[in-house]
A and B are shown apart, each in its own frame.
Chain A
Amino acid sequence: GQNIDQPTEMTATEGAIVQINCTYQTSGFNGLFWYQQHAGEAPTFLSYNVLDGLEEKGRFSSFLSRSKGYSYLLLKELQMKDSASYLCAVPTTGGGNKLTFGTGTQLKVEL
């Protein structure tokens, strides 16, 4: 089976940096996704990591350590519009393409 764990909520200040952690247990590994979801809206794709290391995309970066079953999403120069839920997800293994999601980390950006 697959299990994903991430903090329920975090608060950070506009302009700061925040790191959202995700730990996972899977019987195999096919990569890890991060999605952003604003309240009442659809999840939108942020990143996909399949190899160890840090991948940077503008203000957002995502890190993966397969040996530790650990990933984090790093958000720099926080803006108010970054207030959202951040979802960590892993695809199924052994065939099939469903995603198993964590419960999401609700990030609140304050002035």
Chain B
Amino acid sequence: NAGVMQNPRHLVRRRGQEARLRCSPMKGHSHVYWYRQLPEEGLKFMVYLQKENIIDESGMPKERFSAEFPKEGPSILRIQQVVRGDSAAYFCASSPPGTGTEQYFGPGTRLTVT
């Protein structure tokens, strides 16, 4: 059983470009969470999604950031017009339906904005 998959593992973008981060949850998991880890800081919750629904986006910046989890395919975290402060590791986690709290993390995408 493959774990949580994220791609790309490393992404370099220039200021003003768009970044798209993908996450495929573990097989059988329908809940997806995105977290951001800034250098020397802890993990911060961004958004919690189920298939075709955003359940909690209280940690998402109000502008430039969006997330989706379509019926088919991976979850996508999109950052438009990236700025240097967006440079961070972005981790996706998934959990099975019904339990919610036991989350399994993917390897992360390290975004560098130049």
A104 x B42 contact (CB < 8 A): yes
Chain B residues contacting A42 (CB-CB under 8 Å) are: 4, 91, 105-108
How far, in Å, is A31 (CB) from chain B's closest CB? 7
Chain A residues contacting B42 (CB-CB under 8 Å) are: 87, 101-104
Q: Which of A21-57 contact B (CB under 8 A)?
A: 30-31, 33, 35, 41-45, 48
**Chain-A contact segment, one of B14-22, B77-85, B96-104:** B96-104
With A87-B42, A104-B42 as contacts: A30 and B101 at CB distance below 8 Å: yes
When chains A and B are docked, how far (Å) is the Cα of A33 from the Cα of B99? 14
Question: CB-nearest residue of chain B relative to A89?
Answer: B43
Chain A residues contacting B4 (CB-CB under 8 Å) are: 42
Q: Binary interface profile of A, 73-89, with partner B (CB < 8 Å = 1, else 0)?
A: 00000000000000101
Q: How many residues of B contact A (CB 8 A)?
A: 25
B101 x A97 contact (CB < 8 A): yes
A97 x B33 contact (CB < 8 A): yes
Q: Which of B44, B45, B104, B107 has the most CB of A within 10 A?
A: B45
With A30-B101, A42-B106, A43-B105 as contacts: A98 and B56 at CB distance below 8 Å: yes
B41 x A103 contact (CB < 8 A): yes
By a beta-carbon cutoff of 8 Å, the part of chain B in contact with chain A is 4, 31, 33, 35, 41-45, 48, 55-56, 58-59, 91, 95, 100-108
By a beta-carbon cutoff of 8 Å, the part of chain A in contact with chain B is 30-31, 33, 35, 41-45, 48, 87, 89, 91-92, 96-104
